[in-house]
Amino acid sequence: MMKKSILKSAPVFLLLVFLFSMLGGCSGNDNRTGNEDIVKLSFKAASGYDYLKTLDGQTVTINGYMATSSPVDGSFMFLMNLPYQSCPFCIPNTSQLSNTMEIYPKKGDSFAYTAQAIKVVGTLEVAENEDEPFTDMYGYQFNYKIVNASYTIIQAEDLSADMALWQKIADSNVVNDIYELYDYVNFLCAWNTYYVNTYTNENGETVPGYYLYPSDAEKFIYIDGAQYNYGYKESYFDAIVQKIETVDKDAFSDLIANIGKAEALTKKALAELENKNYTAEYTYVEMFGTQDYVYTLNIGDELTAELETIYSEFANWLGSWEM
């Protein structure tokens, strides 16, 4: 099952806006740690190429979060300044250290993923020339990386009270649950934009793809075990709230309020589907090269706008945990 990207474009944009606002005006050099042989780097300092070139080959340390798009084999990681990011180098990392640093483990080692804040220690490697950056297997270009590295999860006692809370909420895995929640909300608000790709059946015949019909959407929601049935189950939203409150009953009231708004929107969108508040047009669908029915939700734009507003609140909450 494929779908048009709605949420995936919104959070990247929102978090980039947040990133630029946080990075704007940052300057200055990084500091030595208690161990004078280890230099402490930070994303927020936004150190430039000339300064980092003086540290080439030295042992450095930097705190951050593993990007969710880091290679699954752990051969290296994208270390970023915000949690749950999937867009490494969205801000170029050439003239200054911005929001991403590639980290490579010691020979024979690999990195296991964690959503918690981590401390990396390794050797800084800087491109010989600022105009001739490194290029990785994905085509990303950058002038700095850390090699022969290891990481440790930062302990609560070494963090501010707020950041210690992040370690707890990340360890609970509830943020992944909320991303899944928004997948469900997105489907309810825009099921008509989801589609089945053209495929070849068991007889070798080509079956044209199509945009979902209302009956398809209902099956995905109502049938036990179907792709989006998890969100329709009784007490689904309450269970996520309870999971958050288990971490801390008071500290995440804004996140709990956001989930409440998302739940209200799902009820509104589901009522639109159940009350058949949509229209259909039989038309040529260029994407699949065939005539078919295409559905339009009567208040589709309104539902999408509400979703983007609520999701932006969640994205801003996530952005508040900048390392």
According to DSSP, residue 96 is labeled: B
Indicate the pLDDT class of residue 33, thresholds 50, 70 and 90.
Answer: low
* Reported pTM: 0.78
Q: Which residue has the higher pLDDT, 21 or 202?
A: 202
Indicate the pLDDT class of residue 118, thresholds 50, 70 and 90.
Answer: very high
- Asked if residue 117 lies in contact with residue 163, where contact means CB atoms within 8 angstroms, the answer is yes
Q: What is the pLDDT of residue 99?
A: 82
Q: Any idea where the domains of the chain sit in the sequence?
A: 23-154, 162-319
Give the tokens for residue 65. Answer: 């979060």
pLDDT of residue 306 exceeding 60, the answer is: yes
In the chain, % of residues over pLDDT 90: 72
pLDDT tens column, 46-98: 678 889 999 999 999 999 999 999 999 999 999 998 899 888 887 655 555 66
Q: Which residue has the higher pLDDT, 274 or 3?
A: 274
Q: What is the pLDDT of residue 156?
A: 78
User: Whole-angstrom Cα distance, residue 299 to residue 314?
Assistant: 23
- In whole angstroms, what separates CA 320 from the centre of its chain? 14
Of the given ranges (16-20, 38-42, 258-262, 311-315), which has the lowest mean pLDDT? 16-20
pLDDT tens column, 247-282: 998 999 999 999 999 999 999 999 999 999 999 999
Q: What is the pLDDT of residue 8?
A: 31
Indicate the pLDDT class of residue 215, thresholds 50, 70 and 90.
Answer: very high
Q: Show the CA angle centred on residue 154, arms to residues 150 and 157, nearest 5°.
A: 150
- Asked if residue 187 lies in contact with residue 4, where contact means CB atoms within 8 angstroms, the answer is no
> What would be the CATH architecture of the domain defined by 23-154?
Beta Barrel (2.40)
Q: What is the pLDDT of residue 322?
A: 83
User: Whole-angstrom Cα distance, residue 157 to residue 187?
Assistant: 41
User: Cβ neighbours of residue 258 under 8 Å, at least 6 residues apart?
Assistant: 310, 313, 314, 317
User: Whole-angstrom Cα distance, residue 74 to residue 96?
Assistant: 26
